[in-house]
Amino acid sequence: MNRYELRRQDYSLSGDQTELQAVYAKFFRTRCPLDVVRAAEATGFDKDLWEQLCATGATTMALPETAGGDGATLVDLVLVAEELGRTIAPVPWIDHVVGSRLLARLDALRPEAEHAAAIAEGRRIVALDARVDATSGRRLIPAGAVADHILVRDGGDVVELSFDARPAKVDNIGRLPMAWVDPAAADRRTVVGSGARALAAYEFALDEWRALTAAALVGLVSETLSVAVEFAKNRYTMGVPISTLQGISHPLANIEIFVQGGRNLARRAAWFLDNEPEAQRGLAAAAFVHASEEAAKAATMAVHIQGGLGVSAESASSAYLLRARGWPLAAGDPGASAVRAAELFAAASN
């Protein structure tokens, strides 16, 4: 097996990637404790945390150098997304970097363009419609309540929308800054791409969104597992830790299996999108569907292990469970994502 073929099967991190993940693990751990998350639930967005995150270069790193960025790979971004999910940080980083990368791919984010620097640096937030089958009409946008620029598909066009007054946030179990957006009601509407090329670029952006969201869900479950394990080690019944009981230890082991498998699948999907985007088109959708299904199951089990404490309003596990169930719904009908994955794998086998 030559070195390139080996790399297609080996998703271990380089030294730089390990350091990158450690930097953002420390950032989110120190800047985003659970009380920060709780305080932001009314809006789904912590502006101070967002500004601190942007100051680290987390938004500029995602863009190619031609758009004034640092040219980070999608694998690099997956590592940041996992740490964001680990702390369920109330910032629309995934939506913003995917949207800004789409603008760059459509040549609508050149360094000399108006507001390009503000988008690159996160001073103006970009959001996009993450649903699989949305091509017209009013739709829910995951970061629509905080975005300055909203990207949607409208028929055969990719359109950038902006509003003088941002759409109102709607309540949702994922605690996202989600809002209903009607393209026809936008104050400004700019077509940034048309035809098959633009729609293909948008679909590629959705694959990036799926891979990053899958990674965030892996991080979320990993932290939920840590909370459940710590509880199980310190909770006793009949003189022994409950972690020694098969009814507890086996489900915890199953959650760890998901964490490891989901992490590898998200990184694999990101690597192929970076290096061989046409070779495994279904991987990102598969990673998202797998993470969406298993994250909800794993977070539910973690809550059950803690009994009544797990479902209490102040419990960390309950906060993680809500997001494990809610974040995947930003893509709309979960079944549509599963169908999309099946279609892509079927097309590749023909």
pLDDT digits (tens, 9 = 90+) for 192-206: 999 999 999 999 999
> Residue 159: beta bridge partners?
152, 191
Highest mean pLDDT among 52-56, 115-119, 242-246, 341-345: 52-56
Assign domain 199-349 to a CATH class.
mainly alpha
> Residue 190: beta bridge partners?
160
pLDDT at 349 over 80: no
* The two structure tokens encoding residue 101: 């990368």
Backbone φ and ψ for 227, nearest 5 degrees, come out as -65, -45
Q: Assign 311 to helix, strand or coil.
A: coil
> Residue 138: beta bridge partners?
none
* The two structure tokens encoding residue 139: 């739709």
Q: Mean of the pLDDT values across residues 68-74? A: 92
What pTM was computed for the model?
0.94
Identity of residue 310: G
The residue with tokens 């292990």 is 305
> Residue 194: beta bridge partners?
157
Q: Mean of the pLDDT values across residues 3-22? A: 78
Q: What is the pLDDT of residue 335?
A: 86
Contact 62, 77 (CB under 8 A): yes
Tens digit of each residue's pLDDT (9 = 90 or more) over 123-135: 999 999 999 877 7
